[in-house]
Structure 1
Amino acid sequence: MKTLKIKVLITVLFIVTILGIAGAVVAESRQVAGAADGREKYFTSIRIKKGDSLWSIAKSRISEEYSSIGEYVEEVCETNHIYDGEIKEGMYLVVPYYK
């Protein structure tokens, strides 16, 4: 009886893991599929200059794949683990672009 419970538990954990992996693959494929005209997303590093803000960077780099400047800023913040929305001169940021 104890062996059966262990087998059931292992089977359930296996199924949950497979579903999690499948969900991650689907989410990633949607991100690439959302690119206009078959363009793919890439990332590059930029150095922050005096007077730069997340908003000004987004305005100069945003492309049609984003519905708003706020959406682009949000992705830049998530990618760079910026939680307070502040950047400083000399910092490097990883920013997305499509090609």
Structure 2
Amino acid sequence: MNLEFTPEENAFRAEVRAFIEANHPKHLEGMGNREDMSPEDMTAWHKILGKKGWSAPAWPTEYGGTGWDSTQRYIWSEENARVGTFMPLPFGISMVAPVI
């Protein structure tokens, strides 16, 4: 079994990394505790992701998601964890919306 990323997956990682570096609000870096954040801070990164079309990584494109496969979602999560971004609250995206 080959566990190395393909050239396309490595290119995707580079795209994700560049996007995060260019767009993640610097004042939110490393903020791990949500109780320390204002409502505006909690939604700031999510709004930026929404403009890019990346706020629902596991959703199909026809429902407003990215259409990413599991490897792309893994890379996305790994790159976000690398710099300590605050991921959008999962309740609406992962739990409520699929039921609706």
- Give your verdict on TM over 0.5: no
Higher strand share: 1
- Higher-helix-fraction structure: 2
Higher relative contact order (CA 8 A, sep 6+): 1
Mark the structure with the bigger radius of gyration. 1
Instruction: Compute the TM-score of the two structures, normalised by the length of structure 2.
Output: 0.29
> What is the TM-score with the length of structure 1 in the denominator?
0.30
